[in-house]
Chains A and B, each alone.
Chain A
Amino acid sequence: MAWKRICGADEVPENTAKKFDIDGIPILLVNYGEGYRAIPPICPHMEEPLEESGVIVRCVLTCTKHLWSWDLKTLEMKGETEKPLKVYDIKQENGLILANIEEELAYEFDDAEGDDDDFFK
């Protein structure tokens, strides 16, 4: 277990996302009003930078480049979205957001290991 401090809970306003570098691992922290999610900072579809392309409305994150979207409460995929979001476990302590980061979460098209068996997952 490696719980790492991301930021203070008040550093990311409601319905916004902010990118952090945690020991070399890029993390996007999303405040969707009813909670937070810590995710890789790129869209699993075409690797668009979600800090810029993402919009959060009514607990739904939409990448506005190609309209993939996810319910941030349930992580349900919406519309024509074909890949789930990967998320880091998070918790809040004393006004801080912590994420459990064992290793960097990546999407398979970006997999540096070249493990083609993961290509579709």
Chain B
Amino acid sequence: MKITVESKSGSCAFQCGENETILYAGLREGLNLPYECATGTCGTCRARVMSGDVEVRWKDAPGGKKLKPEKGDVLMCQTRPLSDCLLRVPSEIAATDGNRPASRRGVIRDIRRLTNDVAHFDLHLTEPMDFEAGQFVVLETGDLSGGRAYSMVNFDNSAAKVALVMKRKPGGGFSDWLFARGDDEVQVAVFGPLGKAVFRPEEGKNIVCIAGGSGIAGMMSILEHSTRAGHFENYTGNVFFGVRTLSDAFYLEVLARYVTASNSKLQVTVALSHEDAKMPTHPNYPMLRFASGMVHEVAAKTMQGRYENAMVYVAGPPVMVDSTIRALVIDGVRTSDIRYDKYS
């Protein structure tokens, strides 16, 4: 079916299959349609259907709260066409450079529990995928409606396998379902890579990463890429990893290895929000620092006035991301130097 999109920068058209959403079809065609989460929670991909019939998949998507369905407003990430359609999108649309996302199949293997409610798993892809450090994929199963977004932990060119992190949420459909599968292999549909909170060494910037919980996933990919590119020979890195207690932290050995590899040009601070970090160091992790408090407060205190030539990456639960961005803007960090991912 033909989808025509009118935008502030003119009109464009692309083909959309009956089983794909309008957002994914447009992104797959290389158009920079507006989106953030691509899974119905943020509302960024809103559009107005001017003509044609569509089916909205997740009608109560939290990102759609402010839409006016009576005017034809939809979230493109939740909308499939039933006929040729004409849409309006209130932003500027152009062809993108960089990796185009695509649909693939994948098999989940090797689910490995990292903490009480966080697991690491490998996703084996039917076709290899190029992605940038900091990007994510959306996974869907036939059994459950709706996709869930997961940031890549690894960084590889033409990756046949990606590593992902999942946080189990009470009543969080996909994660409950996956945890229950145990050692079974799980078939999923994969769409990606997605996301603009990416690291590009050629930008020549110091790196600041502020992550809450499983938001550390994309930061691991950024650290892998920057370490491999020798980035810390010329630039500094500061990573702040917020968790409730030390027992909720994971990847600490890997983080310590990155610190060692950087000759301490990279510093990693674990911020404990619900536990007193009695000492700034821990005998098991001498390369890491520990602090008490909310991660955005720990980061703000440490980094105040030190954001010069830095790109700041923020990822985690929405409240944590919002608090962090507010602190960064107040501290004078330019909006163009902040890249974020909200996990909801």
Contacts and interface: CB of A to CB of B under 8 A. Distances in A.
B52 interface: no
B332 A57 contact: yes
Interface in A76-121: 78-80, 82, 108-109, 114, 116, 119-120
Contact of B329 (A46, A64, A80, A120): A64
A8 B202 CA distance: 51
29 contacts: A46-B43, A46-B44, A46-B66, A47-B66, A55-B329, A57-B330, A58-B332, A62-B329, A64-B326, A64-B329, A65-B322, A66-B36, A67-B329, A67-B335, A69-B335, A79-B334, A79-B335, A80-B336, A82-B8, A82-B91, A108-B90, A109-B46, A114-B71, A116-B50, A116-B71, A119-B48, A119-B90, A120-B8, A120-B88
B55 interface: no
Contacts of B297: none
Contacts of B66: 46-47
A87 to B, nearest CB: 20
Nearest to B323: A64
A64 B336 CA distance: 12
Interface residues of B, number: 24
Interface of B: 7-8, 36, 43-44, 46, 48, 50, 66, 71, 88, 90-92, 322, 325-326, 329-330, 332, 334-336, 338
User: Which DSSP category, helix, strand, loop or mixed, fits chain A's interface?
Assistant: loop
Contacts of A69: 335
Counting chain A CB atoms within 10 Å of each CB, which of B71, B332, B335 scores highest?
Answer: B335
Counting chain B CB atoms within 10 Å of each CB, which of A58, A62, A78 scores highest?
Answer: A62
Contacts of B48: 116, 119
Given A57-B330, A67-B329, 9 more contacts: A46-B44, A58-B332, A62-B329, A64-B325, A65-B322, A69-B335, A80-B335, A116-B48, A116-B88
A78 B335 contact: yes
Nearest to A62: B329
B67 to A, nearest CB: 9
Counting chain A CB atoms within 10 Å of each CB, which of B46, B90, B92, B332 scores highest?
Answer: B90
Contacts of A47: 66
Contacts of A108: 90
Interface residues of A, number: 22
A73 B8 CA distance: 26
A79 B335 CA distance: 7
A11 B326 CA distance: 23
Interface in A14-65: 46-47, 53, 55, 57-58, 62, 64-65
A114 B46 CA distance: 16
B43 A55 contact: no
Contacts of A53: 322
A46 to B, nearest CB: 6
B272 to A, nearest CB: 25
B316 to A, nearest CB: 15
A87 B91 CA distance: 21
